[in-house]
């Protein structure tokens, strides 16, 4: 009886210590967001903040089950950080930590881990997982969003175009975060706001892309021509058309995807994800609708 009691108590102690260890790991992995919120308030209020959770807009501490979510902002610019972190148990008993984070003011987002993110993905994972016929070069037009599960390890990922004007660099056709991204058009929103906003239908947009501005209705042509020239939004028609062609390339690639969502399962022995199933289709929309509804890269304060 004493032996059974001792074994039971030892098991409880081990699990408690291990749980506390996981809790510490999760909060440590969230320290950059945690510290940013605290420091932001400290600088704005010129005093030490009180309880961190008083400044955290949404905090879900379910670290006993291997999950942590933090969302908070700070004065005066209104910058914020959001991150969800999950602990995926390995066959050895330790944990692989996976985090999806977003820092809007620095245009930084993506998947991060205490391991190499590439090694966590299913073997040979690339853009072709969403479209087997997709062509892959050194420019990535898409990034992978990962939804960290609060319970279990079944994990959903989805593919999305980078904010227009931003691209990733790599050989997989899809980026896991913004670490290796570039801003190729820092003010591409001007195309939508100052040009396409005046376009009335698909036919007019096609005329514009074919450099047939002269064939547009007088009212539309006049508004567009006001935006073209030295010290204006666009130096010449070629610059405008080049930017429109880039947006069309993203639209065509996204529209041709076979799937937009994949469900992963976690393989403890291999310490990596495996594909369970593929679902979802790209939203059906015209090119004009895409231009008007897409996310655009923009600098924040």
Identify the DSSP state of 46.
Answer: T
pLDDT class for 78, splitting at 50, 70, 90? confident
Taking the C-alpha atoms of residue 214 and residue 81, their distance in angstroms, rounded to an integer, is 47
Smallest Cα–Cα separation from 176: which of 162, 196, 189?
162
Q: What percent of the chain has pLDDT over 90?
A: 63
Q: Is 179 helix (H, G, I), strand (E, B) or coil?
A: coil
Q: Is 42 helix (H, G, I), strand (E, B) or coil?
A: helix
Q: Over the stretch 129-173, which tens digit does the pLDDT of each residue have?
A: 999 999 998 999 999 999 999 999 999 999 999 999 999 999 999
Residue 14 in this model has a pLDDT that exceeds 60: no
Q: Over the stretch 246-265, which tens digit does the pLDDT of each residue have?
A: 999 999 999 999 999 999 99
Q: Is 199 helix (H, G, I), strand (E, B) or coil?
A: coil
pLDDT average, residue stretch 67-83: 86
Q: Do 69 and 59 form a contact (C-beta atoms < 8 A)? A: yes
Alpha helices in 137-201 (DSSP H): 189-190
**CB contact set of 289 (below 8 Å; sequence gap of 6+):** none
- Residue 204 has what pLDDT? 94
- Residue 300 has what pLDDT? 73
Alpha helices in the chain (DSSP H): 2-29, 31-45, 52-55, 117-120, 189-190, 202-209, 218-225, 237-255, 287-293
- Residue 7 has what pLDDT? 44
């Amino acid at each position: 009886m004493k032996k059974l009691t001792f074994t039971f108590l030892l098991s409880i102690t081990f699990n408690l210590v291990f749980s506390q260890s996981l809790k510490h790991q999760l909060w440590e992995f969230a320290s950059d967001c945690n510290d940013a919120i605290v420091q932001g308030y400290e600088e704005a209020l010129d005093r030490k903040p009180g309880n961190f959770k008083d400044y955290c807009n949404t905090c879900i501490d379910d670290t006993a089950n291997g999950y942590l979510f933090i969302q908070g902002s700070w004065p005066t610019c209104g910058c914020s950080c959001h991150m969800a972190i999950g602990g995926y148990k390995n066959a050895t008993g330790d944990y692989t930590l996976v985090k999806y984070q977003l820092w809007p003011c620095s245009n930084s987002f993506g998947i991060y881990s205490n391991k190499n993110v590439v090694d966590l993905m299913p073997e040979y994972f690339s853009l072709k997982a969403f479209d087997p016929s997709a062509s892959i070069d050194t420019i990535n037009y898409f990034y992978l969003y990962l939804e960290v599960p609060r319970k279990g390890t079944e994990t959903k990922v989805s593919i999305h175009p980078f904010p227009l004007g931003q691209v990733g660099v790599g050989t997989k056709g899809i980026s896991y975060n913004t670490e290796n991204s570039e801003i190729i058009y820092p003010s591409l929103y001007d195309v939508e706001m100052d040009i396409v906003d005046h376009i009335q239908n698909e036919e007019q947009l096609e005329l514009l892309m074919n450099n047939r501005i002269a064939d547009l209705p007088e009212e539309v042509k006049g508004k567009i021509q006001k935006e073209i020239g030295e010290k204006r939004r666009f130096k010449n028609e070629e610059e405008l058309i080049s930017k429109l062609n880039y947006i069309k390339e993203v639209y065509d690639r996204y529209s041709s995807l076979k799937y937009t969502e994949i469900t992963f399962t976690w393989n403890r022995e291999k310490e990596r994800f495996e594909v369970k199933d593929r679902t979802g289709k790209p939203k059906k929309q015209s090119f004009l609708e895409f231009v008007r509804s897409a996310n655009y890269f923009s600098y924040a304060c």
